[in-house]
Structure 1
Amino acid sequence: MNSELPVSVWSTAQHSPTAQRKNRYTRESIAHPAKMLPEVARYAILHYTTPGDLVLDPMCGIGTTLVEAVHLGRRAAGAEYEPHWVTVARSNLALATEHGVDHDGQIFHGDARQLSTLLPAELRGQAALVMTSPPYGPSTHGRVAVAPGEGIQKYFHQYGSTLDRGNLANIGHHRLLSGFTRILAALTEFMRPGGHIAITVRPWREHAELIDLPSQILACGRNAGLVPVERCVALLARVAEHDFVARGSFFQRDFLRKQREAGLPLHLIAHEDVLVFRTPLTAERRSQRRAATTFDADASTGWAA
């Protein structure tokens, strides 16, 4: 990561994820393998937007960004590839309506790599903030159950069918980066000049090798013509008087124990990186950068986006 970027710490886990989602999200929401922590979305929305602004999430999952945006008086729009999560996200927005939130929230079903045709033209140049996260880190996802004689069984750890090669989660790491760069470049059409894009991301290990996804996503943003402005630390542990209270899942703790027994001295993840970019300040410069960098992003990876 670029050490010259300003760094801030977000205290976003003083309450448990369950408490943060209580009464705002349907029971079906719990099955998503990589739900954004609501307080992380709230923090970004409060700091980078004002009431009435448009907030976007091109891979919105269960709609956390959108739900938190409308509760804060912002407009919200999102896209989601998996039909099931589109339904769940719409149910969560409907729940906000039942709670008396009069909102302008929309969810579109489709591939975020096709944002130019997926999102309506009237949203172009409107968004003050994009808050999103790429699919990543199978070792950090999922829930577990223990059945007699069957050991630990993992579930809720997949975004959708693993056979669907249209899903970014299933196409391999290099093509994921290429596809995500394409999404970031397309987002600039819908951003205000100088608008912010906040991306939550964390590293993971694959066969004992550390995958430094935050640094790779930072490069994706630059290749898409975005300007890095902050590297933030969103805590996943509660700040107590003298220390942190970790909130890792059972599966994460079990994974950690097994890795330590194998000789790999890992520690429980206690934060997520939040990479904050802004778009160029003029629409002309933004358009020129997007035209130049979309090709560069595809060519530099050696993969077609």
Structure 2
Amino acid sequence: MNELPTPASGPEPALPVSVWATGQHAPATQRRGRYHPDGTAHPAKMLPAIAAHAITTYTQPGDLVLDPMCGTGTTLVEALHLGRRALGCEYETRWATIARTNIDLARAAGCGQDAAVYSGDARRLDAVLPADYLGTVDLVITSPPYGDSTHGHVKTKPGEGVQKRNHRYGSTLDRGQLANVGLGRLLSGFTRILAASAAYLRPGGHIVITARPWRQHTELIDLPAHIITCATLAGLEPAERCVALLGRLADGEFIARSSFFQRDFVVKKRRAGLPTHLVAHEDVLVLRKPLA
């Protein structure tokens, strides 16, 4: 009888899991010391821990990471701190300027990898990014705009009640901004962005998209499911579907993190009879560019 081989000594390597524990620290704590305070006004910043987890999982040091809708540059900053090169495109000049400032902060902290932010419309990425980058990107990370009920900040003033702020992208009259158009145009525009990004991705490279559903009046908009369709139309292959937690795991419990506005929104919807819940995670959709 053949004997089974003796297992090697030492701890077993941790297996990857589809639930990412990316909310162990509050967003402000994750950003402290790495990001300029002016970026706080952006309506929908990606959590640094989510970007860092995706970069660590799908790239190696020295790889090139692209965010075609980079906002204030969270993906780029986390890539630099992990020893990757970073490339971004941002539609609104205001946020592109802050993204460049955040890159300068990363360089001042000792991050020496190349990084650049270009201003322009990601639907025409070929007219924004240099052709030298075509087929060289190892990982694309991005997130589409969605649901103003999940974004923004609140402030209170005596006699004026609760007022919401920083929940809009630029001018509401700017129809080139995908956050200001209907769902159909949002999805068609995002499909174009994915197709344009895929041209810069190397064969076998990954695209990571974070998104969440939201309620528009009483209707649930299942944006993650729509995005899978967009990615398929853009010629990408679904690879994984994960969950990035926005709350903290502690002693067998899950402690949700939410803003005042998000809690107020849920309370009002439940009073109206809608079984709305606090947002406690981001859907993480992982696509792959075919090898052929």
CA contact (8 A) 2:70 2:90 kept: yes
> 2:232 corresponds to which letter in structure 1?
R
Amino acid at match of 2:233: N
Query: Structure 2 CA distance, aligned partners of 1:256 and 1:7?
Result: 30
Partner of 1:30: 40
CA distance in 2, matches of 1:99, 1:12: 23
Which position in structure 2 is the counterpart of 1:88? 98
Judging by fraction of residues, say which structure has more helix: 1
2:169–2:180: 8 Å Cα contact kept in structure 1? no
Question: Could you list the runs of 5+ residues in structure 2 that have no partner in the other structure?
Answer: 1-15
Name structure 1 gaps, 5 residues minimum. Answer: 1-5, 283-305
Give how far 1:100 is off: 1.6
Q: Separation in 1 of the partners of 2:246 and 2:202? A: 30
SS of equivalent residue, structure 2 residue 18: strand
Higher radius of gyration, 1 or 2? 2
- Tell me the number of residue pairs that the alignment of Structure 1 and Structure 2 aligns: 277
Query: Secondary structure, in 3 states, of the residue corresponding to 2:79?
Result: helix
Letter in 1 for 2:77: V
Per-residue CA deviations over 1:4-26 (Å, capped at 9, x if unaligned) read xx971000000110100000100
Equivalence for 1:157: 167
What pairs up with 1:1-305 in 2 under 5 angstroms? 8-282=18-292
Aligned-residue offset at 1:103: 2.3
Q: Is the 8 A contact 2:90 2:120 kept in 1?
A: yes
Q: Deviations over 1:17-75 (max 9, x none)?
A: 01000001000011000000000000000000000100000000000000000110001
Percent sequence identity is 64
What amino acid is aligned across from residue 174 of structure 2 in structure 1?
D
Deviant stretches of 4+, over 3 Å: none
Q: Report the Cα distance in structure 2 between the residues aligned to 1:121 and 1:248, rounded to whole angstroms.
A: 41
Code of the residue aligned with 1:84 in structure 2: it is: R
Q: What value does the CA root-mean-square deviation take over the aligned residues? A: 1.0
State how far apart, in whole Å, the 1-side matches of 2:40 and 2:266 are: 23
Q: Give 3-state SS (helix, strand or coil) of 2:179's partner.
A: helix
